[in-house]
Amino acid sequence: MQHILDKASAATLADLALLRADLKAKMPAKKIDQNLIIGTWNIRGFGDITRKEASGSKDSPKRDYHSVLCIAEIIKCFDVIAVQEIKSNLKALRDTLKVLGDDWSLILTDVNRGDVGNGERMGYLFDSRRVQLSGLASELVVPQEWIDVASEEALTEQFVRSPYAVSFRAKHQTFILVTLHILYGKSSKDRIKELKGIARWMSDWAKDVNAYHQNLIALGDFNIDKRGDLLHQTFISEGLTIPAALQDEQVTRSIFDETKYYDQIAWFFDSQNHPNLSLQFVNGGCYDFVGKALANRNLTKQSLSFMLSDHYPLWAEFAL
């Protein structure tokens, strides 16, 4: 059986070199003690893999070692990245960590049970040379008094996939990341309650002067269809704000439809429109891997989505 750390073929190495060069040109460089690069990525069905360098037409799943090498190459650009759709099967995740090396670590939730939970986990991968855990890890639970079965907008039950909050430290800065994957549902209306619930939860936390820390950043797959739609307005109703750099129409989220607005990185601003962060935001964007990752395989976008993802990773750079 092939191993993920076996020397890859010349074709795969050439493909990785193309991807690496494109990442270097488009992603911010890591600067020791000067910056922090935070990301979020919904990696489609990130679970099992076919343990071959290149999966064949009869293999299932289609994700293979070449795919994992590309995923790891992209993740290396971040200091810490929130990942959604990690499945109960951790083969792809474990192989990704092997490629990343001993300086990388992870923290993740257990599997969400029930059909709507889709057997998913959420987690963070982080470069321990630049970022360390700072003590807090929790899943957000809705206070019982918030649950209102008679309301069309209030939560009537707990989150389907509980948002996951973890605190990190980089240099002298401590920050809490809260990642989530909002229920998609049968229609956009099914997402309103969870979006309002997470916005309210985080708003209460951010206003609490006794909170663990005020550098509070939400990131993940919010399943917002379009810029400015009702779901977007619901999300920002409690003061969570998406930085202008990530609202640019050139910053796309889906490899299939550039109008989709699924993934976000956001934080709170005060009444004078100043961010409630001690971190200084520099810039943000997405990384479009189409035509750069697995480029020599001549894949359709549909095939590429199952080997890498149907979402682009989103990033935000902060000065330390």
User: Average pLDDT, whole number, for the chain?
Assistant: 89
pLDDT (average), residues 133-140: 89
Q: Residue 68 pLDDT > 90, yes or no? A: yes
Which residue reads 């977007």 in tokens? Answer: 232
The reported pLDDT for the residue numbered 151 is 53
Report the percentage of the chain scoring pLDDT > 90.
65
- Asked if the model's pLDDT at residue 216 lies above 60, the reply is yes
Q: Which domains does the chain have, with CATH numbers?
A: 10-319 (3.60.10.10)
Answer whether 34's CB lies under 8 Å from 79's CB: no
Task: Identify the pLDDT of residue 60.
Answer: 95
Q: Which residue has the higher pLDDT, 166 or 149?
A: 166
Sort 81 into a burial class: Cβ within 10 Å, 0-12 / 13-18 / 19+: buried
Q: What is the pLDDT of residue 150?
A: 44
pLDDT at position 146 is 62
pLDDT of res. 271: 66
Higher local confidence (pLDDT), 213 or 4: 4
pLDDT band of residue 280 (cuts 50, 70, 90) is very high
Interior/surface letters 136-174, b for 16+ CB within 10 angstroms, e for the rest: eeeebebeeeeeeeeeeebbeeebbbbbbbbbbebeebb
Provide the pLDDT confidence category of residue 162 given band limits of 50, 70 and 90. Answer: confident
Tell which wins on pLDDT, 213 or 303: 303
Answer whether residue 73 shows pLDDT above 70: yes
**Contact indicator for 133, 123 with CB cutoff of 8 Å:** no
Q: What is the pLDDT of residue 209?
A: 46
8 pLDDT higher than 60: yes
What is the mean pLDDT of the segment spanning 255-272? Answer: 88
Q: φ and ψ at 18, to 5 degrees?
A: -65, -45
Q: Which 3 state secondary structure label does DSSP give 242?
A: coil
User: How many Å apart are CA 186 and CA 123, to the nearest integer?
Assistant: 26
Task: Tell me the pLDDT tens digit for each residue of 22-53.
Answer: 999 999 999 999 999 999 999 999 999 999 99
Burial 182-208 (b: 16+ CB within 10 A, else e): bbeeeebeebbbbbbbbbbbbbebbee
| Alpha carbons 172 and 180: distance in angstroms, whole number | 26
- Across the range 81-101, mean pLDDT stands at 97
What pLDDT sits at residue 141? 75
Determine the average pLDDT of the residues in 57-74.
Answer: 97
Higher pLDDT, 71 or 213: 71
The tokens describing 300, both together, are 């359709």
